[in-house]
Amino acid sequence: MPVRATKRGAERTRFASGAAVDVLICGASFAGLAVARELRASGARVLVLDRYEIGERQTSACAAPTEWLVNLALGDSIRQTFGSLLVHTPQRTARWALPWTFSTFDYRTLCKLLWEQSDAVFETAKVEGRVGNVVHTDRGSVSADLIVDALGWRRVLGSGANVQPPDAALSRGLEVHPSGRGADLELWLDRRYVGPGYGWSFPARDELRIGVGSFDPRVHVKDPTLTLAADVSADAVRFQGNWIPHRLRPAVDDGIFFVGDSAGHCLPLTAEGIRTALYFGVACGRELAAVLDGRQDVGAALRRYGEFSWGHRLPFACMYAAQQSVRRLHGPAMNGLVRAFGRRAVSHWAFRHYLDIAPPSAALPAPPAARGAAAVAA
Ligand SMILES: Cc1cc2nc3c(=O)[nH]c(=O)nc-3n(C[C@H](O)[C@H](O)[C@H](O)COP(=O)(O)OP(=O)(O)OC[C@H]3O[C@@H](n4cnc5c(N)ncnc54)[C@H](O)[C@@H]3O)c2cc1C
């Protein structure tokens, strides 16, 4: 198990009694850091909490559309860029041309670059729960008028009981990170590894990120990951895994803003959740900024951000339906689909629509007249 950097011993002092800030962002990964970035120069007291130091906890293969990274000035974190996907079934291999590129990146560098674009304060603390607008942590309590849960799939600050696997709408993913090089982003649609899911190998310059994801939380992925790593002659070292929500959840609840995995913002069929965490993080941050500079009240921000997130329910539902059918398609149907996407016109059409669910233009600065999430949707 890696030892994560966090404040320990005498450094782990208690927060001042009655500590209060204007905005409290819980979670300092893609979603939380994207929210904080939008609040720069707001003049507000913005506090970001995470149980680990920023950039410490990578659980993903860290691949995202290049344009998203560039538009957020995160280009220096990029390790390798790909213009196609190499997709394998047991019977065939096809190259799917992309109309845009994916890049793998270094998680620690990306988080550092995002954080440098905000002027918030950061503290390590484990968030334990909430009563009203007071958030309880292992270092004491903090209150805020605006509270963001960017804590990932556990949705710690939600009202009611937290979702728990295996009954919740969660996928599971596990990968290994051996040293090695590769030229392609590769996917395996192969029942030998997993029926309801897929395997992958994402090269990142001198490292490979090889793993298996299952859309069925009851289907374990450790043995399939070991098998895939062995099949591509890679060492099964440096394991990383997590649960991945695959259904949209209310993005506002009981006065709290939920962003990224805590709102189920990960795309169900592909388990691509970085781009969407950034996308909804930007949208949420712009709504909060409009509250801080007096353009709207908290109620309006909650309503507008909730509607913005829910407005994406159709593509999420379609991708969920496709996800649920994967396990039944293995064989001739899957081979036919993989071959069809090997045609440039088909793959370009599909991946353009796919990118449009959370387009990179949303990362660009909002035009002066636009407000909040509307600026992202524009
Ligand atoms: C194996 C695997 C590979 C993946 N590969 C990709 C990929 O290549 N591309 C892609 O787009 N998506 C990928 N995903 C999905 C992606 O990782 C998630 O959708 C994304 O990380 C969601 O971002 P987030 O900021 O919402 O949550 P997270 O990245 O999960 O961040 C949550 C943050 O909250 C902190 N936290 C959690 N609980 C507490 C607590 N109680 N107190 C304090 N802090 C807490 C955590 O330390 C963390 O920093 C992958 C997922 C898995 C499991």
137 close to 15: Cβ distance less than 8 angstroms? yes
Of 246, 261, 278, which is best to mutate to test ligand 1, by the most ligand atoms within 8 angstroms of its C-beta? 261
| pLDDT at 3 > cutoff 60 | no
Residue 6 has a pLDDT of 67
Q: Compute, in angstroms, the gap from residue 247 CA to the centroid of ligand 1.
A: 15
- Residue 45: alpha-carbon gap to chain centroid: 25
Q: Which residues contact 163 (CB under 8 A, 6 or more apart)?
A: 153, 154, 155, 169, 170, 245
Three-state DSSP class for 142? strand
Q: pLDDT, tens digit, for every residue of 179-228?
A: 999 999 999 999 999 999 999 999 999 999 999 999 999 999 999 999 99
Ligand 1: does its nearest atom lie under 6 Å from the Cβ of 242? yes
Residue 10 has a pLDDT of 66
26 close to 156: Cβ distance less than 8 angstroms? yes
Q: Taking residues 340-366, what's their average pLDDT? A: 96
Ligand 1: does its nearest atom lie under 6 Å from the Cβ of 362? no
Residue 337 has a pLDDT of 95
Q: Taking residues 172-185, what's their average pLDDT? A: 97
Q: Compute, in angstroms, the gap from residue 276 CA to the centroid of ligand 1.
A: 11
Q: How confident is the model at residue 350 (pLDDT cuts 50, 70, 90)?
A: very high
| pLDDT at 366 > cutoff 90 | no
Helix, strand, coil percentages for the chain (3-state, nearest 5): 35, 30, 40
| pLDDT at 158 > cutoff 70 | yes
Ligand 1: does its nearest atom lie under 6 Å from the Cβ of 244? yes
Residue 1 has a pLDDT of 46
> What are residue 92's phi and psi, to 5 degrees?
-150, 160
pTM exceeds 0.85, yes or no: yes
Q: Taking residues 12-19, what's their average pLDDT? A: 84
Q: Compute, in angstroms, the gap from residue 368 CA to the centroid of ligand 1.
A: 32
Of 151, 214, 259, which is best to mutate to test ligand 1, by the most ligand atoms within 8 angstroms of its C-beta? 151
Ligand 1: does its nearest atom lie under 6 Å from the Cβ of 44? no
Nearest to 313 by CA among 251, 242, 240: 251
Ligand 1: does its nearest atom lie under 6 Å from the Cβ of 62? yes
Q: Taking residues 36-60, what's their average pLDDT? A: 94
Q: Count CA atoms within 13 Å of residue 90 on its CB side.
A: 11
Residue 160 has a pLDDT of 78
Residue 173 has a pLDDT of 96
Ligand 1: does its nearest atom lie under 6 Å from the Cβ of 241? yes
CB atoms closer than 10 angstroms to residue 332: 9
Q: Compute, in angstroms, the gap from residue 171 CA to the centroid of ligand 1.
A: 13
CA angle 1, 26, 133 (to 5 degrees): 140
Q: Which atom of ligand 1 is nearest to the CA of 156?
A: 41
Residue 18 has a pLDDT of 82
Q: Compute, in angstroms, the gap from residue 29 CA to the centroid of ligand 1.
A: 7
Nearest to 8 by CA among 52, 71, 42, 62: 52
Q: How confident is the model at residue 374 (pLDDT cuts 50, 70, 90)?
A: low
Q: Compute, in angstroms, the gap from residue 150 CA to the centroid of ligand 1.
A: 9
Ligand 1: does its nearest atom lie under 6 Å from the Cβ of 111? no
| Segment holding 324, helix H or strand E | helix 313-329
Instruction: Work out the burial of residue 239: count CB atoms within 10 Å of its CB; fewer than 13 is exposed, 13-18 middle, 19 or more buried.
Output: middle
- Identify each DSSP E strand in the chain by its residue range: 20-26, 46-50, 63-65, 78-88, 93-105, 121-124, 127-131, 134-137, 140-149, 170-176, 185-188, 197-204, 207-214, 239-245, 252-253, 256-258
Residue 327 has a pLDDT of 87
| pLDDT at 2 > cutoff 80 | no
Report the distance separating Cα 271 and Cα 326, nearest Å.
13
179 close to 137: Cβ distance less than 8 angstroms? no
Among the residue ranges 15-24, 188-197, 274-283, the one predicted with the least confidence is 15-24
Residue 228 has a pLDDT of 98
| pLDDT at 25 > cutoff 80 | yes
